[in-house]
Structure 1
Amino acid sequence: MPHPKTVEKMFECAGPIEYKLLPRLIHVTEAAAIAAAYQMGRGDKHFADQVAVASMRRMLNKLDMQGIIKIGEGERDEAPMLYIGEEVGTGVGDLEVDIAVDPLEGTNLCADGCPGSVAVMAMAERGGIFHGPDIYMDKIVVGPDVVRYEKEHPDERIDLDAPVRQNLEIVAKALGRNVEELVVVILDRPRHAQKITEIREAGARVRLVTDGDLMPGVATAIRGSGIHMVMGAGGSGEAVLTAAAIKILGGKILARLVLPSVANGKSKEKIQEEIEEKMPRLEKMGITLEKLNDVLDTERLVPGKDVIFSSTAVTPGHFLRETRLFGGGDARVHTISMGASGAVRFTDSIYIKDKQETPLYL
């Protein structure tokens, strides 16, 4: 009898979305990353994002599925964004999927040639991805060691409202480390000044990122990445994409929706203006002002069972190598992809347009 953890058994656990779409999803993020890489360092973040969006949309519309964008880059009238509610795919077949996209996470990073920009996407069955507004989420992300520790010690759990030191001590115990050995990634924003101070006062080390805390969140579930925890308020879409990967990898995310004006400590007048502007749309999504305070865990952000995720680096990442461009349109890209079956792939892809002109190098 084969061992239950054999590759055959894992493939048997793969749902139809993973089985049919994950191999193609890799091509989608790789195409977007290559398109963006041609704009790397040119200083125009909007055009870099535009070409990544256009490439991703074209590739998505070649897939035999009925897809709806649940986490996108904007509203219907904000072309050329892959907007929330947009329908993609050929419409052929019976696969109905919800999609979360960020064609170019870290637009500033790409435009300035800095590390950390990626093309990223997740899919799940209908109803399997949180349908949320394009505002902020305050979050904590940790890896599977912490999840296991919480199961063994039910009275010790990370908590979005707990003191920073308390959460750090739980993570340290789960990893068998001292707090002083932990690395916490957080966006370098004025709104995080107090939290950064508290992390340092607790003894942990801080790694500030100017943009892009999605992949650091994924990295918490990868041993050897050097990242043990992600904290702070960032984009809600990025939080949901993080949740898709972290669910597959066995980690944990806790998040709460928060209006940008609140997160950034604006005046009561500015907060009220944003409430009046955004709440009508949020209420259509079933999110009332009171529900903004709800804590959303991994399962609420990504309740789907047949979940897939792919991310391709544009510039050097926390554990992915940058897209490299060669003469004549050839490119080499590095991708992480995964599905709910537990299969995780690091793919080193080389695209050669003219095999007679361009030899393949190791």
Structure 2
Amino acid sequence: MPHPKTVEEMFESAGPIEYRLLPRLIHVTEAAAIAAAYQMGRGDKHFADQVAVASMRRMLNKLDMKGIIKIGEGERDEAPMLYIGEEVGTENGDLEVDIAVDPLEGTNLTADGCPGSVAVMAMAERGGIFHGPDIYMDKIVVGPDVVRYEEEHPGERIDLDAPVSHNLEIVAKALGRKVEELVVVILDRPRHAQKITEIREAGARVRLVTDGDLMPGVATAVRGSGIHVVMGAGGSGEAVLTAAAIKILGGKILARLVLPTVANGKTKEKIDEEIEEKMPRLEAMGITLENINDILDIDKLVPGKDVIFSATAVTPGHFLREVNLFGGGDARVHTVSMGASGAVRFTDSIYIKDKRETPLYL
């Protein structure tokens, strides 16, 4: 009987980014989450995002690497920090990395004290993360059971252009469930009204979220999460970050860039205005009207091999606990981090500001 893969072999398979940066990446997302947690429930989403961005950037600039933001807070003229193209890190050492960040996924959720907000980041070797525009991506996300089913049944595959019922039937067979037992997460937006109707007509159950479908996408690859599929059009950056985690966990994502005016069913005049405004920037990234509708799979969204991912909850999440703040600036945070070697860590961290004054509680 062959011996199973050992932990030693997994460590040996870790690339230099995972080996040297993943332990530090946890500190980056945790610092951003704690900063945002102090603004939880205060009603100011912009300031909550601002402090998370500033904290994440300060922490990133302490890492020995040459990093470039590929998915960030927006274009340089729109975002003062962590903008697309910004160079971060100390520039010491030989690690050159592409970075995707969302310092506060779910700004409204944090401002209103609602579940689901996180600080999240992914890294890969240079050229390893999709360099795309800050528009929408229509997507479908599923876990590794579906990937295995597709390998065993080559004629049955999920398809972004297929009817909703077709995709749900494949997911149900892959999970050994009935369609009626599936839970599909989708953003609660008018643009999704027809798709929500189709999901319900197919027999599946819908879980609407007001914001933040990134971690539900990751949850499709976590058994026991209660989430089986994520569908719908959301931010392109969130789709790429989801793809980084899903790639590590063995799941699948199919996505397509879409202009917000198109996704939201605006008039031809509005669509033409957006095309005129945004296409020059998109074309500089290699995206044209001819290829904008191309299907992007996981290897196009995250082509890198040495991929790492970290997410720290700010408010209660789908499988993460929220930041708890104690007197004197102490905090307890819950993080999921992972690398391409297959090592996934759930980290429960306690930051004690004054060790003489604060006892450690279990």
CA RMSD of aligned residues (A): 1.0
Aligned-pair CA distance for 1:3: 3.6
Q: Percent identity?
A: 92
In structure 2, C-alpha distance between the alignment counterparts of 1:322 and 1:56, rounded to whole Å: 18
> CA contact under 8 A between 1:50 and 1:80: conserved in structure 2?
no
CA deviation profile, 1:157-194 (whole Å, cap 9, x unmatched): 00000000000000000000000000000000000000
1:82 deviates by: 1.1
Q: Distance in 2 between matches of 1:72 and 1:216?
A: 20
Q: State the 1:79 CA deviation.
A: 3.4
Between the aligned partners of 1:227 and 1:177, the Cα distance in structure 2 is: 13
User: Structure 2 CA distance, aligned partners of 1:282 and 1:33?
Assistant: 31
Q: How far apart, CA to CA, are the structure 2 residues paired with 1:289 and 1:349?
A: 47
1:75: how far off?
1.1
User: Equivalents in 1 of 2:294, 2:184: separation in Å?
Assistant: 24
User: Whole-Å Cα distance in 2 between the matches of residues 60 and 351 of structure 1?
Assistant: 19
Q: Distance in 2 between matches of 1:79 and 1:278?
A: 17
Q: Trace 1:82-93 onto structure 2 (pairs within 5 A).
A: 82-93=82-93
1:4 Cα deviation from its structure 2 partner: 4.9
In the alignment, is the contact (CA less than 8 A) between 1:39 and 1:111 conserved in 2? Answer: yes
1:80 deviation in Å? 3.1
Unpaired runs of at least 5, structure 1:
none
CA contact (8 A) 2:57 2:81 kept: no
1:255 aligned onto 2:255: yes
Distance in 1 (alpha carbons) for counterparts of 2:346 and 2:100:
20
| 1:348 CA displacement | 0.2
Q: Aligned with 2:2: secondary structure? A: coil
Distance, in Å, in 2 between the alignment partners of 1:321 and 1:327 is 19
Residues 190-247 of structure 1 show CA distances to partners (whole Å, capped at 9, x for unaligned) of 0000000000000000000000000000000000000000000000000000000000
In 2: Cα distance, 1:343 partner to 1:354 partner: 32
Q: CA deviation at 1:325?
A: 0.4
Distance 1:90 1:58, change over 3 A: same
Write out per-residue CA displacement over residues 16-74 of structure 1, whole angstroms, 9 at most, x where no aligned residue.
00000000000000000000000000000000000000000000000000000000111
Whether the 8 Å contact between 1:50 and 1:81 is mirrored in structure 2 is: no
The answer to whether residue 282 in structure 2 is matched with residue 282 in structure 1 is yes
Change (3 A) 1:223 1:74: same
Q: Flag structure 2 segments of 5+ consecutive residues without an equivalent.
A: none
Checking the alignment, whether the CA contact within 8 Å between 1:48 and 1:110 is kept in structure 2 is yes
State the secondary structure of the residue aligned to 1:222: coil
**Deviation at 1:95?**
0.1
**Cα offset for 1:290?**
1.2
